[in-house]
Structure 1
């Protein structure tokens, strides 16, 4: 018997469909919490409403007795119902030994302990993304675990970085290659074996001799790597910005490629994620005019509540949280004679819009560049909600640092950024780069490494 906590249903409103043949139980306290959170335009409220609708659809016209004993969970028209869903009413204490019921978490744990007493032949497992809730449950004798259904990796180190680095020369590892040149482009065809078998589409190959290649085609038993010249990559100026290392250079290569519709940049604070994305976006809208507008958004703790109380328009309300965008705009023009005038001019000429995540649902953005800052704070469900807003000719750029998650119920393994990085690694029109180093300053680099 799996008992779901409120934060699991907010994290994934369809979570109760993912327990196969097992019994899924929703405590009455969880329904009350969903009810109290369902109002408003916040992303959390929308997730609560979706979870409530899913529960209602599954229970259908079942009688109270059927709900108490368990309603078969139907997952589709053709699929046979598997597992059951029931609502847990009881909150009785166990032999007078119970947690104080002034907290909803305690009410749920007490209900589970009572359930455990009556069903000694079943394993009762609390599923919660709240670490403290799990600790309290275990301390009270109730088994507890996190929700792992959308956790695709067991270790962040297993995530693709977007490139493979070879010590010495890359060519020393190659026994056979077929090279072709056309239209000034050199491409190498290799047999897909050894280290090359682990490469994904749009990943890069780097070595210490200066070779840079990009996987442009993948077959069952072969791959094609396009030869990129390191000198050209390092000297490609984008809106006055030059890459400071090869990792920034290959990130800009993906950002400027019109065939890449999703770019995912991760890295430590100060590694250049935002300034690279902003420079590329301005270049693509103002100079080459491939896109019509730039939409900047981010997820921030407290944003859902606080945005309503700040004065001004949506853009003005979003400004305190999107200050990083303006800061990087100033950095791009710090050498100008009048930086403030330059930034004001750019803001007046560049179609840059600040949008709240609360108002993105239901929108469709055509021919737009969508920058999602601090995307490590999004759940997989929220990431999907935003990316599916991208219409024809649009490009999504996700920026994040998995070491700086501010959402209490998310970890680096359950973050939407991790989920998306793993899911999109084989996407023909997607690319991911993990930036290294902290070019922001010597102070920032030392602080990142030593504090």
Structure 2
């Protein structure tokens, strides 16, 4: 290897976060300490979501090293090239850190993190001409590594599509002042009830399909429906018309909810992603639109509601009953929203039972979505900020012909110990799907639940 080659020593949490992470380091060396395999072995049988990732990582390592001799495993086995520009294959090796003798100045070997750090220190000492990097998502371990003498310690960022959550796509572009004052050259054509404008793409930095355009003066609202060269095609939706969108008796309280309703009620859009703070109306808008499309318009045969089930406090133990009865506590947000939609009815409980049967609303556990093929349904995936990209892929790929999926979540309320706002599956699909013609993203900016909720969101 050349002097510019790098040796990456992976911590256990990297493989739990992304089981195939060892394939992401291109032409460089990847070292897995034996302690990491021990930790994966201990984790794989736990009754937690992370145990599946541990098993996937173990199988992936086994598939890569299955035909290698012990000597080849220690020296390094060639990995397949991951990109067309990669000039040479990377290498994967297992390092038996249990054979390391305790050196003066090294960390105590009675802790797994310390053994992994000591492994990186040993490899750094044995390879003075190479850059040895310890890769871990554990902030404290990165600090300990630096303190112990490691020259390079990094977080795993290969899966991050944005460097700062503030730059995450909001799904709309807001112009300062009046939109038309900023348009110097525009051609328009009318087709039926809608007018289409052709504007300079440079007016909207980073323009993408189904991005909404609004202005501060509340004079214009539109949506990008096509991009060709330097020209963006904008459908003129009309500010007042957008604010007039409604479903199941619910009207938008701000323009962001108006844009959300436009996307939710559009049968051409198969994936709607709703982000925003607690109390901005994500669940209520999704459910109201689901009932409108299923009961009133008959576009879908059923409504499937699912979500991840992390606990923010101590576990209350096992819950009795069927799958839907077990999911009921987790999906109380849906029943709360149903109550809001029918609180004016003479018999709210009777109305709710009737609508749940009429719309064929089914509460399903996310654990049983794998292998299904969902046809002609509207799927509401609530609280999906707690899901990884691979989990969201599993659910979205279940959706068959005539199915629409609504993903909602708040990146400020992640309950998983293994995810951050930057690595959440919600962040991942927002960025991955922004250029897909059949999807729309709306950041519901503003809390409408109550003044109390708004103050808490801003000040706590």
Deviation at 1:263, TM superposition (A): 0.8
Secondary structure of 2:204's counterpart equals helix
User: Which residue of structure 2 lines up, in the alignment, with residue 83 of structure 1?
Assistant: 90
User: Which residue of structure 2 lines up, in the alignment, with residue 233 of structure 1?
Assistant: 242
Aligned CA distance change for structure 1 residues 354 and 103 (closer, same or farther; 3 Å): farther
User: Which residue of structure 1 lines up, in the alignment, with residue 19 of structure 2?
Assistant: 13
CA distance in 2, matches of 1:49, 1:307: 27
CA distance in 2, matches of 1:395, 1:103: 48
Deviation at 1:33, TM superposition (A): 2.4
Task: Point out where structure 1 has 5 or more consecutive residues left out of the alignment.
Answer: none
Aligned CA distance change for structure 1 residues 6 and 351 (closer, same or farther; 3 Å): farther
Deviations 1:64-113 (A, max 9, x none): 11111111112479988611101121233542444444543233223333
CA distance in 2, matches of 1:347, 1:30: 48
1:400-439 correspondence runs (5 A): 400-439=409-448
CA distance in 2, matches of 1:116, 1:199: 46
> Which one of 129, 140, 158 corresponds to residue 149 of structure 1?
158
> Which one of 190, 198, 202 corresponds to residue 206 of structure 2?
198
User: Which residue of structure 1 lines up, in the alignment, with residue 143 of structure 2?
Assistant: 135
1:59-74 correspondence runs (5 A): 59-74=65-80
Deviations 1:303-357 (A, max 9, x none): 9x96983221121112221211111111112222232222222223222222222
Aligned CA distance change for structure 1 residues 337 and 147 (closer, same or farther; 3 Å): same
Contact 1:37 1:48 in 2 (8 A): yes
Contact 1:265 1:432 in 2 (8 A): yes
Contact 1:307 1:317 in 2 (8 A): no
Aligned CA distance change for structure 1 residues 168 and 80 (closer, same or farther; 3 Å): closer
CA distance in 2, matches of 1:30, 1:361: 28
Secondary structure of 1:405's counterpart equals coil
Does the alignment pair 1:352 with 2:361?
Answer: yes
User: Which residue of structure 2 lines up, in the alignment, with residue 387 of structure 1?
Assistant: 396
Aligned CA distance change for structure 1 residues 234 and 364 (closer, same or farther; 3 Å): same
Secondary structure of 1:198's counterpart equals coil
1:305-384 correspondence runs (5 A): 309-384=318-393
Contact 2:245 2:251 in 1 (8 A): yes
TM-score of the aligned structures, taking structure 1 as reference length: 0.93
> Which one of 45, 52, 58 corresponds to residue 64 of structure 2?
58
Secondary structure of 2:306's counterpart equals strand
1:283-298 correspondence runs (5 A): 283-298=292-307
Deviation at 1:43, TM superposition (A): 4.4
Deviations 1:18-46 (A, max 9, x none): 10111111122222222233348864333
User: Which residue of structure 2 lines up, in the alignment, with residue 213 of structure 1?
Assistant: 222
> Which one of 43, 46, 54 corresponds to residue 48 of structure 1?
54
CA distance in 2, matches of 1:384, 1:374: 15
Q: Compare 341-350 and 403-412 and name the one that shifted more.
A: 341-350
CA distance in 2, matches of 1:417, 1:122: 37
Secondary structure of 1:233's counterpart equals helix
1:240-319 correspondence runs (5 A): 240-302=249-311, 309-319=318-328
RMSD of aligned residue pairs (Cα, Å): 2.4
